[in-house]
Amino acid sequence: MKIQSINPATEEVNGEFELSTKEHALNVLKATRKAWEEWKTVDVSDRAKRMRNLATALRKKKAEYARLITIEMGKPIKQSLAEIEKCAWTAEIYADNGARWLEDERIDAGYKKSFVAFEPLGVVLSIMPWNFPFWQALRFGIPAITAGNATILRHSNNVPMCAYAIEEAFKEAGFPENLFRSLLTDHDTVKALIKHKSIKGVSFTGSTEVGKGIANLAGKNLKKCVLELGGSDPFIVLEDTNMSFTCAAAVEGRNISDGQSCIAAKRFIVVKDAATDFIAHFTELMSQYVLGDPLDQETDEGPLSSKKQLEKLESQVADAVRRGARIETGGKRPRMKGYYYEPTVLTHDKMGSRILTEEVFGPVAPIIVVKDANDAIRVANSTEYGLGASIWTSDLEKAENIARQIEAGNVFINSIVKSDPMLPFGGIKASGIGRELSRYGLLEFVNMKSIAIK
């Protein structure tokens, strides 16, 4: 069976690719398992050298890899270049810290000697989406391989060129053959891999519903899994914020990756004393965002990733309008080829609308006006999701108090939500289980072995 890589800006085919058969996928797994048997014995300091090589390999082909991201999923080239740079930086973070993070942990438990050793599990399967084609794959892959595991990447079939380019980067960095492999498969082959005894864990990033299915199958087969799922992140604006700074950040936070990010700001919760100024300034900035060729450095926003994604966004906006929402700017497709949608601001949205209850992947920003900070906390938590949140105010003590009451895995004050390799990243509620990045992410796929000597 063949799949196509389609440029969402031109609607032209980048290329056709064969899906792996189940037999081929299992042969790849066998080879990856064999590579792991050698890799697990490699000293962490030697693994660190390869990670530095990976950073160099990514930067060497940064322009080429960034272009692949843009022509396969549509984000502006300046964001694609930043994505590759972030991956290289993360490889350096783990090269610098991996050995320290994996050191035996001595514990005084009354024995002559007792400690916890952190040992690799084996081959870990990652199932990754298209919205950050390199970053999603590498923010898992870099820690997993640093810990001594091997990995198979089952990437989204939207970005096959990126999938194979990531495998190429590991080869160029001098990692053992087959230690990191990319596969394009159908869903049945994914299931067969999860069930296979040589797969010791699963990392999945994607929708909540698919994540539930992955977790169910992994659980039945006693496989460790980490799930980074959907989000409906609140962007809370208090009356004492720096309005120009906050609105500029709001535009960036909503439109990163053309609005197709799990941690994009998706619900703008504004206290009434700040609402008039925020709506006016934010709407003006959103209307000025430049749509165009994503390969142009001047473009602020490219197309959505696919026609299907565009049509879903249109139906979500239509639902909000039917329920009484008012379009302040945008609200339609522009007259241009490609899967574009205008940056959109909605006010007077009703709490039951799909825009507020579903994850929205696109440049649409609903504004909810609330009475005060307590009301903002209530509305922020009135969602099934719990991935990220941001709070905007000059009162940092008040902001920290609010942050502790927000039901989310990541809360940023006076900054848009970001994934940082030094901080654990992940969600609660319907936004997932487990953590990626930092030492905490590194330890998700290890055997924490207690050793006691009496």
> Are 110 and 221 part of one and the same domain?
yes
pLDDT of residue 388: 98
Q: What is the pLDDT of residue 369?
A: 98
At residue 193, the pLDDT reads: 98
Return d(Cα 150, Cα 281) in angstroms, integer: 49
Closest CA to 345 of 454, 250, 230: 250
Q: Pull the structure tokens for residue 99.
A: 């050995």
Core vs surface per residue 416-443: b (16+ CB within 10 A) or e: bbebbbeebbbbebbbbbbbbbbbbbbb
Q: Which residues pair with 155 in a beta bridge?
A: 128
Work out the pLDDT band at 27, boundaries 50, 70, 90.
very high
Whether residue 357 lies inside any domain: the answer is: yes
Percent of the chain with pLDDT over 70: 100
Range of the domain at 329: 233-420
Mean residue pLDDT across the chain: 97
CATH number, position 413:
3.40.309.10
Q: How many domains does the chain have?
A: 2
Same domain, 196 and 264: no
- Is residue 425 in a domain? no
* pLDDT of 436 strictly over 90: yes
pLDDT of residue 351: 82
Q: What is the CATH number of the domain that holds 19?
A: 3.40.605.10
According to the model, what pLDDT value does residue 96 have? 98
Same-domain check for residues 256 and 278: yes
Same domain, 220 and 344: no
88-98 pLDDT per residue, tens: 999 999 999 99
Query: Residues with catalytic annotation?
Result: 228, 262
Residues 34-60, mean pLDDT to the nearest whole number: 98
Residue 349: pLDDT over 80: no
Please state the rounded mean pLDDT for residues 272-293: 97
User: What's the token pair of residue 29?
Assistant: 């797994």
pLDDT at site 371: 98
- 350 and 205, same structural domain? no
- pLDDT tens digit sequence for 331-341: 999 999 999 99
Q: Please give the average per-residue pLDDT across 244-250, as a whole number.
A: 98
Q: Give pLDDT tens digits for 185-199.
A: 999 999 999 999 999
Shared domain for 311 and 162, answered yes or no, is: no
* Degrees to nearest 5, angle at CA 359 with 430 and 185: 80
| Ramachandran quadrant class, 437 (left: phi over 0; alpha: psi -120 to 50; beta: rest) | left
pLDDT of residue 1: 86
User: 43: which 2 tokens?
Assistant: 């000293």
Mean pLDDT of 211-227: 98
Maximum pairwise Cα distance, the chain = 76
Question: Is position 426 within any domain?
Answer: no
Q: Rounded CA gap, 345 and 355, in Å?
A: 11
Q: Judge whether 114 lies within some domain.
A: yes
Query: Are residues 143 and 22 both part of a single domain?
Result: yes
Task: Supply φ then ψ for residue 248, to 5 degrees.
Answer: -60, -40
On whether both 188 and 326 belong to a single domain, the answer is no
pLDDT band, residue 231 (cuts 50/70/90) = very high
| Same structural domain, 269 and 147 | no
CA distance 430 to 425: 15
81-125 pLDDT, tens digit per residue, is: 999 999 999 999 999 999 999 999 999 999 999 999 999 999 999
d(CA 227, CA 436): 9
Q: How confident is the model at residue 350 (pLDDT cuts 50, 70, 90)?
A: confident
Whether 191 and 338 map to the same domain: the answer is: no
Predicted confidence band of residue 451 (pLDDT cuts 50, 70, 90)? very high
Domain membership flag for residue 305? yes
Compute how many other C-beta atoms are within 10 angstroms of the C-beta atom of residue 43.
10
Q: Please name every residue paired with 202 in a beta bridge, in sequence order, or none if there are none.
A: 125, 225
CA pair distance 415, 190, nearest whole angstrom: 37
Is 111 inside any structural domain? yes
Give the per-residue SS3 of the chain: CEEEEEECCCCEEEEEEECCCHHHHHHHHHHHHHHHHHHCCCCHHHHHHHHHHHHHHHHHCHHHHHHHHHHHHCCCHHHHHHHHHHHHHHHHHHHHHHHHHCCCEECCCCCCEEEEEEEECCEEEEEECCCCCCHHHHHHHHHHHHCCCEEEEEECCCCHHHHHHHHHHHHHCCCCCCCEEEECCCHHHHHHHHHCCCEEEEEEECCHHHHHHHHHHHHHCCCEEEEECCCCEEEEECCCCCHHHHHHHHHHHHHHHHHCCCCCEEEEEEEHHHHHHHHHHHHHHHHCCCECCCCCCCCCECCCCCHHHHHHHHHHHHHHHHCCCEEEECCCCCCCCCCCCCCEEEECCCCCCHHHHCCCCCCEEEEEEECCHHHHHHHHCCCCEECEEEEECCCHHHHHHHHCCCCCCEEEECCCCCCCCCCCECCEECCEECCECHHHHHHHHEEEEEEEEC
> Which residues make beta-bridge pairs with 118?
448
**Contact indicator for 58, 288 with CB cutoff of 8 Å:** no
**Which residue is associated with the tokens 């006006």?**
369
| Under 8 Å between Cβ of 328 and 279 | yes
Domain match, 223 and 315 both: no
Statement to judge: residues 180 and 104 lie in one domain: yes
End-to-end CA distance of the chain: 59
* Arithmetic mean of pLDDT, 11-21: 97
Give the C-alpha separation, 268 to 276, whole Å: 13
